[in-house]
Amino acid sequence: MGRLAIIAGRGVLPRMLAAHCAQQGTPCLIVTLNGFSADWMQDHPRIDARFEKLGELFEGLRAQGCDRVVFAGGMNRPEIDPTAFDRKTLALAPRIFGQMGRGDDALLRSIAEIFAGEGLSVVAAQDVLPALLASSGLMTRKAPSADDLKDISRARELVAMLGAQDVGQGAVVAQGLCLGLETLQGTDRMLEFVARTAQGLRPDPNGARGVLFKGPKPGQDRRMDLPAIGPGTVERAQAAGLAGIAVVAGGVMLLDRKRLLALADEAGLFVFGVAPEADPAPNPGAKDG
């Protein structure tokens, strides 16, 4: 088996994967795109690439003995300079730009097909590091109330509708009312919007404070862009006045799990893993982890 290329975006996930590879003795290569870098990358073999130079990227990966790639971390849709295209990118441009007006899953599927066509398998971050995936049941001291469970069910319905249109993977619901839906701006921006706008929108000031629900899109290609939460998600959920966070067990990554759960306990928020294809049960179950 050859080297694993980690195409690194923002956040802790690329660093976590690189550290895991180092611990396991798995050779890896960090790939940065369009000038993005971070201090931790200095400890690993690395190449820099540009979106406009895919031919150079593929040649570089083969020269480094890579046969697999994993996309990790946040990545914005890039501003691309067509005048800088190399021959390979020019040939691939119709396929790539044909997906730019669609959702992330459609675009990322197309990218995965392009890499596969170059003999490079796209693997999932959770296959490299299975411990990333959320477990089922309660993960914190605080448990969701019966009203919170109703809000989780409602938020899950909304996320299923969003996902069916390849739009987003998260929603915030309080007392049955939708306070926010995730779009291209992402979960952090949605939670910041809720924090700014939701005060006074909950019908009962003493009722359920609301929940964030995160889950994968129906039929999503789970090799890329699997939903994730991290410590920052907990901090923003607290700032938005929410009671907790619910995620699909086995379908959402928990980044920096130990710190995430510790922050949730400190804030009095719950983190709850719901079954992949069923609404949460009335009894949230025993604490996990």
pLDDT score of 224 = 81
DSSP states along 247-282: EETTTSEETTHHHHHHHHHHHT-EEEEEPTTSPPPS
124 contact partners, CB below 8 Å, separation of at least 6: 70, 222, 223, 224, 226
Give the residue range(s) of CATH 3.40.140.80 domains in the chain: 133-274
For the cut 70, the answer to whether the pLDDT of residue 280 exceeds it is: no
Where do you find CATH 3.40.50.20 in the chain? 3-128
Contact by Cβ (8 Å): 244, 270: yes
pLDDT at residue 164, as a whole number: 86
What does the block give as tokens for 75? 């990545």
Please state which CATH class domain 133-274 belongs to. alpha beta
Counts of helices then strands in the chain (DSSP H, E)? 9, 13
Give me the CATH topology for the region 3-128.
Rossmann fold (3.40.50)
221-262 per-position pLDDT tens digit: 888 878 999 999 999 999 999 999 999 999 999 999 999 999
User: Per-residue pLDDT averaged across 4-29, rounded?
Assistant: 93
Residue 92, pLDDT above cutoff 90: no
Encode pLDDT of 52-84 as tens digits.
899 999 999 999 999 999 999 877 666 778 888
DSSP 10: B
205 neighbors 199 (Cβ within 8 angstroms): no
Q: Dihedral sign, CA of 137, 260, 185, 33?
A: negative
